[in-house]
Amino acid sequence: MSVNQSTGRQGDLRARGLRIALVCARFNDTIVGALEEGARSALLTHGARATDVTTVWVPGAWEIPIAARALAASGRFDAIVALGCVIRGETYHFEVIADQSNAGLMQLAIDTGVVVTTGILTVETAQQAHERIGGSHGHKGAEAALAAVETLNAVRAALA
Residues in a beta bridge with 57: 24
Long-range pairs of 94-101 with CB within 8 A, sequence gap ≥ 24: 94/122, 97/60, 97/61, 97/62, 98/61, 98/122, 100/62, 101/61, 101/62, 101/64, 101/65
Percent composition of the chain: helix, strand, coil (DSSP 3-state, to 5): 50, 25, 25
Q: So which residues are the catalytic ones?
A: 93
Q: Are 83 and 42 in contact (CB under 8 A)?
A: no
